[in-house]
């Protein structure tokens, strides 16, 4: 069930995104291979696991494919590589007993080390094939055998890139047709594309930043003459003091006028309060209004 989910993730989904420095690995065989399936694995760990599993010589023919310059997004649709998609699906080719997909592999798998392990443990002979020799069925007569197929790096621009991957997939389909009645194992390894910024070019000389030199330059006293910048929008007028400056501005005049009015109002109020006169007899109990009422 887990393998089916991984297959759907890689080959059936419409949009697949992975790490920029990773690439997928496809393994399928007519024999039972006990390989752990995971989303992310290192190339060194997979090299060790594959060498251990294949050293038991489970098949007669081992097809080791190396496809450089591709990523997980290049196999996002089943139409990108139909033959590879069929081998990775459980719905086709019931002869395949093992299907393992690692969507993201960090680092490169040492496929030559695996080939040497097969030569040493299984006594398999090695043959390097290409597109021109695939049509010859005589190369599959001797067993056990290790077939090495190195595809070229696909173009970076579309639609040439998609067509290159389709052409490589057609070569894989032709080989699988010839191995229809054989016991085989296919390792389809890939390496991620190299960004244009990482392509080796003319090395640039690096100049180290000198902190002491910059500090010395900043602290060095400048005794040279400094040019004086004269502004074009200078508004100073030559003449007497009262012609250069305006002392009685409208704001100052308005403030003085308001202050004068407020002081006048305050003076009138204080004068009115001070003019009030009350005799002391009004506060005398005997001569006051209350005393006169008692007398009556």
Read out DSSP for 237-296? --S-HHHH--SS-HHHHHHHHHHHHHHHHHHHHHHHHHT----GGGG-TTTSHHHHHHH-
What is the token pair recorded at 15?
């949009």
Output DSSP code: residue 98: E
Asked if residue 33 is part of any domain, the answer here is yes
Could you list the residue range(s) of the whole structural domain that residue 246 is in? 242-283
Q: How far apart are CA 132 and CA 130, in angstroms?
A: 5
- Do 53 and 168 have their domain in common? yes
Asked if residue 211 is part of any domain, the answer here is no
CA dihedral 46, 104, 85, 90 (to 10 degrees): 70
Asked if residue 80 is part of any domain, the answer here is yes
- Do 113 and 176 have their domain in common? yes
Asked if residue 237 is part of any domain, the answer here is no
Bridge-based pairing of strands 98-106 and 22-29 is antiparallel
What percentage of residues in the chain have a pLDDT greater than 70? 66
- Do 87 and 153 have their domain in common? yes
Number of domain units in the chain: 2
- Do 164 and 47 have their domain in common? yes
What confidence score (pLDDT) does residue 1 get? 45
What confidence score (pLDDT) does residue 35 get? 86
* pTM for the full predicted model: 0.61
Asked if residue 131 is part of any domain, the answer here is yes
Asked if residue 263 is part of any domain, the answer here is yes
Query: pLDDT tens digits, residue range 87-114?
Result: 887 656 678 999 999 999 999 999 999 9
- Do 156 and 263 have their domain in common? no
- Do 258 and 134 have their domain in common? no
- The average pLDDT across 13-18 equals 42
- Do 191 and 247 have their domain in common? no
- Do 180 and 260 have their domain in common? no
Asked if residue 232 is part of any domain, the answer here is no
Query: pLDDT tens digits, residue range 157-215?
Result: 889 999 999 999 999 999 998 888 899 999 999 999 886 555 455 455 555 555 555 55
- Do 35 and 149 have their domain in common? yes
Among 171, 195, 219, give the residue marking a domain's end: 195
Among 160, 175, 195, give the residue marking a domain's end: 195
């Amino acid at each position: 069930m887990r393998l089916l989910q991984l297959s759907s993730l890689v080959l059936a989904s419409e949009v697949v995104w992975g790490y920029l420095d990773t690439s997928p690995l496809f393994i399928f065989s007519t024999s039972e291979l006990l390989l752990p399936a995971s989303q992310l694995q290192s190339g060194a760990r997979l090299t060790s696991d594959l060498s251990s599993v294949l050293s038991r010589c489970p098949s007669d023919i081992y097809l080791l494919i190396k496809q450089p310059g591709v990523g997980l997004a290049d196999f996002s649709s089943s139409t990108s590589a139909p033959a590879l998609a069929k081998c990775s699906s459980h719905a086709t080719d019931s002869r395949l007993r093992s299907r393992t997909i690692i969507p993201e592999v960090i680092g490169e798998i040492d496929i030559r080390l695996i080939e040497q392990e097969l030569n040493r443990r299984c006594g398999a002979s090695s043959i390097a094939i290409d597109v021109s020799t695939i049509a010859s069925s005589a190369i599959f007569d001797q067993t056990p055998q290790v077939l090495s197929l190195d595809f070229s790096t696909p173009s970076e621009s579309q639609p040439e890139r998609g067509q290159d991957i389709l052409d490589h997939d057609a070569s894989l389909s032709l080989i699988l047709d010839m191995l229809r009645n054989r016991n085989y194992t296919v390792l389809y390894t890939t390496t991620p594309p190299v960004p244009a910024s990482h392509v080796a070019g003319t090395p640039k000389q690096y100049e180290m930043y000198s902190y002491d030199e910059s500090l010395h330059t900043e602290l060095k006293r400048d005794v040279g003459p400094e040019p004086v910048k004269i502004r074009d929008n200078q508004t100073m007028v030559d003449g007497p003091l009262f012609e250069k400056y305006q002392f009685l501005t409208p704001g100052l005049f308005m403030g003085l006028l308001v202050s004068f009015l407020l002081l006048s109002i305050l003076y009138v109020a204080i004068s009115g309060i001070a003019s009030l006169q009350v005799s002391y007899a009004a506060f005398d109990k005997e001569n006051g209004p209350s005393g006169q009422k008692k007398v009556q």
